[in-house]
């Protein structure tokens, strides 16, 4: 059958993980998992695809164009509906929070509080792939539900920071930028912006650092904002927005308000006090330009960036106290974050914090070599026996009996020991070579499994 070779490649923006690639991903995932468990979070998982309405419910129908849509090829009705101009019934999950909110809402009465959950599934976005942004990626989600105090925000941030520490990053490498939507909202209200207009202002501010200056001013104006008055919230842009004569003082005041927000807003101040108790202050900054794009945030919002700002955000999160209720659950305070694997791995690689990929592969306990054909015939039984002792055993499948060459294979796969089945095999004696130290000795087959055990 003639099929273009492009069809035999991974879809654009997705990844093939060969053993060494996956070993690096598992290294990161294992740190995420152990750190989550140590912080008292329990792992959950949900479906890879959900009803499309789970996503449009909070974000509106527009989100459908940013998702991979899914339909059953068997369901004539679904296909007919799409051909008639409708959307597909399902979507690949772009984020985990709606699944989490749905799961909490479904069992809210029986789940012990607080609910502390994490998940490490695949996520999908129908966007143009670019550095740090793929169409399928792994994302670590950590959520603390049923506690509205700053200690919950702090514990969630502590969990992210501990993962950085375990991966070798320092406060000089990554920064946690923290703000609070309640604080920004209070400021906006002070500027005469009514609360019902805040969601569109948040959305504008979140996008604003990517807007050209002129466009920024124009959009600000159309939202009824004085551009210079929201400048401090608009990210790391140069201060060249037109400031009307006589408003220099105002601008200074605005900046001051923004940068001292934490001392004026109790929640932000309490959060920083908790972070200090937990010895996390060195990692964290107030950054009033952090707003977060998702509509469901209600309080603390934060993003974690590489310190020089060279990469996309490593993680983002915040407090979403109304979301569970909107999915049919009780009113339950909640906060959490998502951290993708792509930007994190880029950051670790750039800072020299990843070993050569092969070193993340599991080390074989032994590589078994047959020095003659008789030994080769007996090898499968010996190897099978060793594996019954929960040992990682490889073997030579080659027809060569050149022991030196085969020891090279043992060394290439980083085996701890080589076991050479040679002349004394008839007496149930084999050679055991320590591949790290180099020593070689004879050993009885009956003692071999014990000698290969990893020291605890």
Residues 175-204 that bind its own copies (CB under 8 A): none
DSSP readout, 239-287? S-S---TT-HHHHHHHHHHHHTHHHHSHHHHHHHHHHHHTT-GGGEEE-
Q: How far is CA 431 from the centre of its chain?
A: 46
Identify residues 373-392 at the interface with its own copies (CB under 8 A).
380-381, 384-385, 387-388, 390-392
Distance CA 54, CA 77 (A): 20
Overall residue count recorded for the chain in this entry: 456
Radius of gyration (Cα) for the chain, nearest Å? 28
Q: Does 303 bind its own copies (CB under 8 A)?
A: no
- Separation CA 433–CA 122 (nearest Å): 42
Nearer to its own copies, 4 or 249 (CB): 4
Tell me how far, at minimum, the Cβ of 16 lies from its own copies, in Å: 5
Give the integer Cα–Cα distance in Å for 358 and 154: 36
Buried b (16+ CB within 10 A) or exposed e, 222-241: ebebbbbbbbbbbbebeeeb
Residue from the set 24, 27, 32, 54 that interacts with its own copies by CB under 8 A? 54
Task: For residue 39, state whether it binds its own copies (rule: CB under 8 A).
Answer: yes
Least CB distance to its own copies at residue 166 (A): 8
Is 44 one of the binding residues for its own copies (CB under 8 A)? yes
Strands 300-306 and 315-319: antiparallel
Q: Which of 28, 156, 160, 162 binds its own copies (CB under 8 A)?
A: 162
**Which of 24, 108, 145, 154: binder of its own copies (CB under 8 A)?**
154
Q: Is residue 405 a contact residue for its own copies (CB under 8 A)?
A: no
Site for its own copies in 328-367 (CB under 8 A): 328, 361-362, 364
- Looking at the Cβ atoms of 228 and 327, the one nearer to its own copies is 327
445 binds its own copies (CB under 8 A): no
Q: How far is the CB of 22 from its own copies (least distance, A)?
A: 5
When the beta carbons of 191 and 203 are compared against its own copies, the nearer one is: 203
Under rule CB under 8 A, how many of the chain's residues touch its own copies?
103
User: What b/e string do you get for 105-144 counting C-beta neighbours within 10 Å, with b at 16 or more?
Assistant: beebeebeebbbbbbbbebbbeeeeeebebbbbbbbbbbb
SS3 345: helix
Residue 429 makes contact with its own copies by CB under 8 A: no
Q: Residue 61 burial by CB count (10 A; 0-12/13-18/19+): exposed, middle or buried?
A: exposed
Among 53, 57, 42, 175, CA closest to 118: 42
Contacts of 358 (CB under 8 A, 6+ apart): 20, 23, 414
Residues 75-134 that bind its own copies (CB under 8 A): 75, 82-83, 85, 87-88, 90-92, 99, 102-103, 105-107, 112, 114, 117, 122, 124, 126-127
Part of the chain binding its own copies (CB under 8 A), chosen from 149-157, 287-295, 337-345, 440-448: 149-157
CB nearer to its own copies: give 81 or 443: 81
Q: Which is nearer to its own copies, 170 or 213 (CB)?
A: 170
CB 379 within 8 A of CB 393: no
Stretch that binds its own copies, among 16-24, 219-227, 305-313, 344-352 (CB under 8 A): 16-24
Specify the residue, 200 or 247, whose C-beta has the smaller distance to its own copies: 200
Q: Please report how close the Cβ of residue 412 comes to its own copies at its closest, in angstroms.
A: 8
Closest contact distance (angstroms) between CB of 289 and its own copies is 28
In whole angstroms, the minimum distance from the beta carbon of 43 to its own copies comes to: 5
**In this complex, which beta carbon is closest to its own copies, that of residue 54 or of residue 339?**
54
The secondary element (H helix, E strand) that includes residue 440 is strand 440-444
Residues 235-274 that bind its own copies (CB under 8 A): 274
- What DSSP state is assigned to residue 294? -
Taking residue 191's Cβ as centre, other Cβ atoms within 10 Å add up to: 14
Show contacts with its own copies in window 204-233 (CB under 8 A).
none
- Residue pair 342/350 in contact by the 8 Å Cβ criterion: no
Q: Which is nearer to its own copies, 42 or 221 (CB)?
A: 42
* Site for its own copies contains 66 (CB under 8 A): yes
User: Could you identify the residue written with the tokens 């909110």?
Assistant: 101
Q: Is 9 in the site for its own copies (CB under 8 A)?
A: yes
Q: How far is the CB of 161 from its own copies (least distance, A)?
A: 10
| 309 makes contact with its own copies (CB under 8 A) | no
- Nearer to its own copies by Cβ, of 112 and 438: the residue is 112
């Amino acid at each position: 059958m003639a099929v273009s070779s492009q069809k035999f490649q991974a879809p654009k923006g997705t990844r093939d993980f060969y053993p060494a690639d996956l070993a690096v991903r598992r290294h990161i995932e294992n740190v995420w998992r152990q750190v989550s468990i140590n912080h008292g979070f329990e792992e959950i998982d949900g479906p890879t695809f959900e009803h499309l309405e789970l996503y449009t419910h909070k974000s509106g129908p527009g989100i459908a164009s940013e998702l991979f849509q899914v339909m059953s090829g068997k369901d004539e009705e679904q296909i007919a509906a799409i051909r008639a101009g409708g959307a597909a019934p399902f979507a690949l999950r772009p984020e985990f929070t709606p699944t989490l909110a749905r799961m909490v809402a479904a069992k809210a009465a029986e789940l012990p509080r607080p609910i502390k959950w994490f998940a490490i599934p695949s996520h999908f976005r129908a966007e143009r792939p670019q550095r740090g942004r793929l169409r399928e990626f792994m994302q670590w989600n950590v959520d603390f539900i049923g506690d509205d105090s700053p200690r919950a925000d702090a514990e969630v941030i502590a969990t992210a920071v501990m993962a950085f520490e375990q991966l070798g990053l320092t406060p000089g490498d990554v920064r946690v930028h923290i703000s609070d939507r309640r604080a920004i909202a209070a400021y906006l209200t002070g500027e005469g912006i009514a609360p019902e207009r805040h969601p569109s202002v948040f959305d504008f501010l979140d996008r604003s650092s990517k807007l050209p200056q002129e466009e920024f001013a124009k959009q600000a104006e159309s939202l009824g904002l004085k551009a210079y008055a929201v400048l401090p919230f608009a990210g790391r842009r140069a201060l060249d927005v037109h400031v009307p004569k006589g408003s220099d003082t105002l601008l200074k005041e605005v900046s001051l308000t923004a940068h001292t927000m934490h001392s004026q807003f109790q929640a932000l101040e309490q959060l920083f006090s908790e972070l200090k108790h937990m010895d996390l202050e060195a990692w964290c900054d107030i950054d009033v330009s952090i707003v977060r794009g998702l509509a469901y945030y209600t309080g603390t919002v934060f993003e974690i960036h590489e310190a020089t700002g060279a990469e996309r955000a490593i993680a983002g999160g915040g407090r979403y106290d109304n979301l569970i209720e909107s999915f049919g659950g009780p009113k339950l305070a909640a906060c959490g974050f998502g951290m993708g694997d792509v930007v994190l791995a880029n950051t670790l690689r750039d800072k020299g914090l990843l070993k050569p990929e092969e070193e993340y592969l599991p080390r074989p306990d032994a590589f078994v070599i047959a020095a003659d054909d008789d030994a080769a015939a007996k090898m499968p039984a010996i190897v099978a026996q060793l594996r019954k002792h929960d040992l990682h055993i490889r073997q030579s499948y080659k027809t060569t009996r050149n022991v030196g060459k085969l020891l090279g294979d043992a060394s290439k796969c980083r085996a701890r020991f080589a076991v050479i089945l040679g002349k004394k095999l008839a007496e149930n004696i084999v050679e055991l070579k320590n591949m790290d130290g180099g020593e070689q000795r004879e050993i009885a087959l009956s003692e071999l499994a014990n000698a290969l055990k990893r020291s605890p």
